[in-house]
């Protein structure tokens, strides 16, 4: 398909385990974004990539969260030593250009993460 | 700090009604505003994007307006259908940033 692809769609893990969430953006989209959607908090920005660099990581809630992007394409969001409050839907989006270019962001279906 | 609020939080209407969803933001220095719909268990589908220099955008039965000075946007849905049932989210982008700041959402149900 031509849309943003995220995997896995659902992830259940035990507290304290590490998890990796993957995002495959739309081909040719240089900007990639991670957001988190949780009950009571709404949709919150986590990190933004332009190419392989992350000029804005201000939304990462703690140092247990990290993300990388390689080859200007696929991105991985890693959560170490998961806590129950990390349970949420993690959404990835991409757009043609970042840098305030004003292009619409296109979202994947998200990964629903549940921490037991 | 930019805050985005949507009213009402939930709305239930009979099929065929015209309806208005409201979005307000506290900082008028926005770059653009985007409306999305979200179906249960799904991601966000972009509906309309209004640049700060624009007053409105239209797509089919949807019309979104923007009044930056008053910090408001409205999404007008004409002749609503059961398939319009979803959560509608507005999001603003500020100048010199790339992240979106989302509103609290309006959960719409259109019944036959």
Q: Does B99 touch chain A (CB under 8 A)?
A: yes
Q: For CA atoms A51, A54, A59, A61, give the dihedral sign.
A: positive
Cis, peptide link before residue B8, omega less than 30° from 0 = yes
Q: How many CA atoms lie within 13 A of A77 on its CB side?
A: 33
The percent of residues above 70 in pLDDT, for chain A, comes to 95
**Which of A100, A112, A113 should we substitute to test contact with B (largest number of B Cβ atoms within 10 Å)?**
A100
Residues A61-75: tens digit of each pLDDT: 999 999 999 888 999
Backbone conformation region of residue B83, classed left if phi is above 0, alpha if psi is from -120 to 50, else beta: alpha
User: Per-residue pLDDT averaged across B33-48, rounded?
Assistant: 93
Give the C-alpha separation, A39 to A53, whole Å. 30
Instruction: Give the mean pLDDT of chain B.
Output: 94
Residues A22-80: tens digit of each pLDDT: 999 999 999 999 999 998 778 999 999 999 999 899 999 999 999 999 888 999 999 99
Give the C-alpha separation, B103 to A42, whole Å. 8
Query: Per the CB < 8 Å rule, is A91 touching B44?
Result: yes
Q: Does B43 touch chain A (CB under 8 A)?
A: yes
């Amino acid at each position: 398909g031509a849309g943003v692809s995220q995997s896995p769609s659902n992830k259940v893990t035990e507290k304290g385990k590490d998890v990796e969430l993957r995002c495959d953006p739309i081909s040719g989209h240089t900007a990639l974004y991670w957001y988190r959607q949780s009950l009571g908090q709404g949709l919150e920005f986590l990190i933004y990539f332009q190419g392989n660099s992350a000029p804005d990581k201000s939304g990462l809630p703690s140092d247990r969260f990290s993300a990388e992007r390689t080859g200007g394409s696929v991105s991985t969001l890693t959560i170490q030593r998961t806590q129950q409050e990390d349970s949420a839907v993690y959404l990835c989006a991409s757009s043609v250009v970042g840098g305030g270019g004003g292009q619409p962001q296109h979202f994947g279906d998200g990964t629903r993460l549940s921490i037991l | 700090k930019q805050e985005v609020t949507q009213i009402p939080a939930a709305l239930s209407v009979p099929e065929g009604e015209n309806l208005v969803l409201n979005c307000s933001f506290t900082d008028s220095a926005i770059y653009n505003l985007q409306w999305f719909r979200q179906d249960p268990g799904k991601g966000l589908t972009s509906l309309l994007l209004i640049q700060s220099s624009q007053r409105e955008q239209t797509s089919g039965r949807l019309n979104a307006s923007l009044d930056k000075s008053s910090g408001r946007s409205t999404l007008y849905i004409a002749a609503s259908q059961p398939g319009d049932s979803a959560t509608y989210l507005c999001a603003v982008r500020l100048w010199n940033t790339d992240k979106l700041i989302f509103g609290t959402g309006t959960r719409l149900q259109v019944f036959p």
